[in-house]
Amino acid sequence: MHLRRQLSHLDGGVSGVGNNDDMVGKVEPSLFFACRLNDVNGTVLLFDGGQLSDRIRISTDEIYSYKQNLKRIYHPPMDPDYIIDHLVGSCNGLVCIVIWHDFVTDPIYICNPITREYVYLPRLIVNEGDNVDMSEPDGIIQRECRLYPLISCGFGYVRSTNEFKVVRIYYPSINHEGNVEVYTLGSGCGWRSKGKISFVLNTIGGGAYSNGDIYWHTFNKIVAFNLANEEFRLLPAPPCMIGRKYGDRCGLIELGGNLCLYMDKLRMEIWSFKKSSHLKESWCMDFDIDYEGVVGSRRWRFEPILLTKNEEIIFKYDNFVLYSYDTKTAILKRISDDDKASTDYFSAAKPIAHINTFISLEDIGEKSKRHMVGSSCEDDVIDQ
């Protein structure tokens, strides 16, 4: 089934939990932002950007205003840093965020933004000197590797067992195998070792979650990790990855219930991975977008964020600019404003698709906390 006809199954990259199956499957995802302030500390704030269909009518000349639409999400302070790909992913209302510490990006902060419930998972412990050890809080399991490792990660959900899982793959160096570990929320088992992987997976941001698997890409390969059986497999590469050159921008995302790969060479190609009529999975190119004439330059990364219920793909360009591509008319246009209050306030922004739910970390089995703020803060937008 073609991507544009998948909207009846739109879940924005998340699947329902328990009685929320029907609710989540019918809800259009919202924008969720991690924004770095334009200050000397590199402070990171989280914002709910709302649903695009509720905020603007893209068929008209209405625009998306950061100043009017970003609602501050209050959470425990993050350590200041200068990375922006904090967001590993969103699944069923829970968000996984990396915490920067000791030169590693660790996927250990899980929260429900709407309930302000959060939990910190056991972190990668960096010792003094040139060694890093991965250990449980009780120190029973311990491994060592050299300083400055790379970390690939992902976050997703297993429908059959009703479990959320975080995957962390850490590399002692670029030339080493990756050590794979899985954390099941609420299990009480901590990080479990799942062996090694020889591929160096992308380490910027999180892997793409879709239908029970987490996907990462290398330069010319796509690797899947099944969250149920906790095993890796290689996917066939789409034609656009064959002969890929350095400088060709590539990424993975779920749109309309399907895993999609986008490749930016001179044009933006979006390929979806789905089962054919013969139940064989294969790649199909759904969209070929000539965006440079509208955007004006290929200098900055142009990447899809989500698919709306109105069959429009929302893209981000540079740090802040949002574009909408109408899949019915093939019209691409800018939908965000150029409000200097926003661009002066932030130095960078990272959006992902997110659906608000009231799923409780405590009910899952985690010893969570709830971040408390005064009632006057609840409806804040961009502070002036």
Residue 382: per-residue pLDDT? 38
Rg of the chain over all Cα atoms, to the nearest angstrom: 20
Tell me the domain boundaries of the chain: 3-360
Residue 163: per-residue pLDDT? 96
CA 52 from centroid of its chain's CA atoms: 18
User: Which residues are 316's β-sheet partners?
Assistant: 303, 322
| pTM for this predicted structure | 0.83
Q: 């269909």: which residue's tokens?
A: 53
Residue 80: per-residue pLDDT? 56
Q: Give the other-Cβ count within 10 Å of 55's Cβ.
A: 18
pLDDT tens sequence across 48-102: 988 887 666 655 677 888 888 888 888 776 665 555 578 899 999 999 998 877 7
Buried b (16+ CB within 10 A) or exposed e, 144-175: ebeeebbbbbbbbbbbeeebbbbbbbbbbeee
Instruction: Identify whether the C-beta of residue 309 lies closer than 8 Å to the C-beta of residue 53.
Output: yes
CA 326, 259, 9, 286 torsion-angle sign: positive
Residue (of 77, 79, 156, 166) closest to 121 by Cα position: 166
Which parts of the chain have pLDDT scores under 50?
Answer: 1-24, 127-147, 375-384
Q: 């998340």: which residue's tokens?
A: 14
Residue 298 Cα distances to 96, 203, 241, 268, 318, angstroms = 30, 23, 19, 10, 10
Domain 3-360 is classified in which CATH homologous superfamily? Kelch-type beta propeller (2.120.10.80)
User: Which residues are 50's β-sheet partners?
Assistant: 31
